């Protein structure tokens, strides 16, 4: 089970404010998230809820405005430019939704997988060997010489996963990786991400607006208005995860470090709770009633 020492990612009170002209957009407002080493989780939320903002910060592409965010030995609020480069190169792999954005069209699948290793200075023979191994992991060993244009969308995303894993990062981030794929191909790509998680032990975060994806991983965290609001967990074996069996799920509201929870709007409406609540403890349970 989870122990304190296995915590890999820790975000607390995370804020991101975008300033465009004289307008401020608060994309993350006090987000809290903890991910253990070797976990695979889904971040689920409506469009505009802050999912990509969080992922871009985790990828080191964007800096948060306030709060704390730690990934392994890196403190993402305190990184020097040099550390940012090192972090992006060795700690994280990233997969974009747009299949075309992940790969260079004029390079073969093999060359695409080798490229991050070229940039990080790995020796040639080692590069080629590892790239071939990775193409094998994603089931495309036979297509090494093909260019992205000669591969289907699903195959391109498989190559993108291999590219993301090229420098053996402990963390793989995927922003709506199945967004441009049909359902069946999407399921295959998710199965592959689950396999990578099990076989290589890579910690994986998959962002999606599709609640169905949430049921294919062990834990799904929902973001609402820039804050993590609920978490759905299920005890699943690897085989059942691949099979997409969704039984045994349980949903929890998340309590942030200030003690806040986001109570679903329907419940507030049903109890006619508007601005204030009376809180009590009864029979070992917390009760809320309208104080308006
Ligand atoms: N570069 C930016 N400049 C200004 N506002 C932005 C920028 N990127 C995202 N936003 C705003 O931040 C909010 C969260 O966006 P985003 O993280 O992309 O959401 P999601 O990925 O969940 O759809 C949205 O209101 C969006 O318009
Ligand atoms: Mg997005």
Q: Write the CATH number for 178.
A: 3.40.50.300
Nearest CA to ligand 1 atom 13: 27
Closest ligand 1 atom to residue 209 Cα is 22
State the total domains in the chain. Answer: 2
What's the rounded mean pLDDT across residues 121-133?
A: 93
pLDDT confidence tier of residue 7, bands split at 50, 70 and 90: very high
Distances (CA, A) of 226 to 46, 60, 217, 223, 231: 11, 18, 22, 6, 15
Distance 136 CA to ligand 1 centre (A): 36
45 shares its domain with 85: yes
DSSP category for residue 64: -
Q: Tokens at residue 164, please? A: 């993301």
H or E segment at 291?
none
Closest ligand 1 atom to residue 56 Cα is 17
Among the listed ranges 176-185, 222-231, 241-250, which one has the minimum average pLDDT value?
A: 241-250
- Residue 70, φ and ψ in degrees, nearest 5: -125, 135
Distance 43 CA to ligand 2 centre (A): 11
Q: What is the pLDDT of residues 29-87, one digit of tens each?
A: 999 999 999 999 999 999 999 999 999 999 999 999 999 999 999 999 999 999 999 99
Distance of CA 201 to the CA centre of its chain: 15
207 shares its domain with 82: yes
Distance 104 CA to ligand 1 centre (A): 26
Closest ligand 1 atom to residue 207 Cα is 21
Please choose, from the candidates 104, 185, 169, 180, the residue with its C-alpha nearest in 3D space to the C-alpha of residue 134: 169
Query: Which residues are close to ligand 2, an ion, with C-beta < 5 A?
Result: 52
In the chain, what percentage of residues exceed pLDDT 90?
A: 60
Distance 292 CA to ligand 2 centre (A): 37
H or E segment at 216?
none
DSSP category for residue 4: G
170 shares its domain with 288: no
Distances (CA, A) of 269 to 227, 240, 251, 263, 275: 21, 37, 20, 10, 11
Residue 175, classed as helix, strand or coil, is strand
Nearest CA to ligand 1 atom 11: 27
14, 19, 20, 27, best to mutate for ligand 1 pocket (most atoms within 8 Å of CB):
27
149 shares its domain with 268: no
Among the listed ranges 53-57, 118-122, 260-264, which one has the minimum average pLDDT value?
A: 260-264
242 shares its domain with 271: no
Supply the range of the domain harboring residue 241. 4-261
143 shares its domain with 267: no
Pairing type for strands 66-71 and 7-20 reads: antiparallel
117 shares its domain with 240: yes
pLDDT(132) > 60:
yes
Q: What is the pLDDT of residues 20-29, one digit of tens each?
A: 888 999 999 9
46 shares its domain with 185: yes
Distance 82 CA to ligand 1 centre (A): 27
Closest ligand 1 atom to residue 19 Cα is 4
Q: What is the pLDDT of residue 172?
A: 98
Q: What is the pLDDT of residue 235?
A: 63
């Amino acid at each position: 089970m989870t122990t304190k020492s296995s915590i890999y990612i820790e975000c607390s009170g995370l804020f991101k404010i975008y300033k465009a002209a004289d307008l401020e957009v608060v994309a993350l407002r006090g987000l809290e998230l903890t991910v253990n080493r070797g976990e695979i989780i889904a971040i689920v939320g409506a469009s505009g809820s802050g999912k990509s903002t969080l992922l871009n910060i985790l990828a080191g592409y964007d800096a948060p405005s306030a709060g704390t965010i730690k990934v392994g030995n890196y403190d993402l609020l305190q990184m020097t430019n040099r550390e940012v480069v090192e972090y992006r190169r060795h700690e994280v792999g990233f997969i974009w939704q747009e299949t075309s954005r992940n790969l260079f069209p004029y390079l073969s699948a093999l060359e695409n997988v080798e490229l991050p290793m070229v940039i990080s200075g790995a020796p040639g023979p080692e590069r080629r060997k590892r790239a071939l191994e990775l193409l094998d992991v994603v089931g495309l060993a036979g297509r090494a010489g093909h260019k992205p244009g000669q591969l289907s969308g699903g195959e391109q995303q498989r190559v993108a996963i291999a590219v993301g894993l090229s420098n053996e990062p402990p963390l793989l981030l995927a922003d709506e990786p199945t967004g441009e794929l049909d359902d069946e191909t999407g399921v295959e790509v998710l199965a592959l991400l689950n396999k990578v998680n099990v076989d290589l032990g890579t910690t994986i975060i998959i962002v999606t607006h599709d609640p169905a994806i949430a049921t294919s991983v062990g834990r799904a965290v929902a973001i609402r208005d820039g804050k993590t609001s609920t978490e759905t967990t299920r005890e699943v074996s690897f085989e059942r995860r691949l099979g997409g069996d969704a039984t045994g799920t349980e949903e929890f509201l998340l309590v942030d470090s200030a003690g806040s929870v986001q109570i679903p709007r329907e419940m507030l409406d049903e109890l006619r709770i508007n601005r204030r609540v009376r809180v009590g403890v009864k029979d070992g349970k917390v009760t809320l009633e309208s104080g308006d």
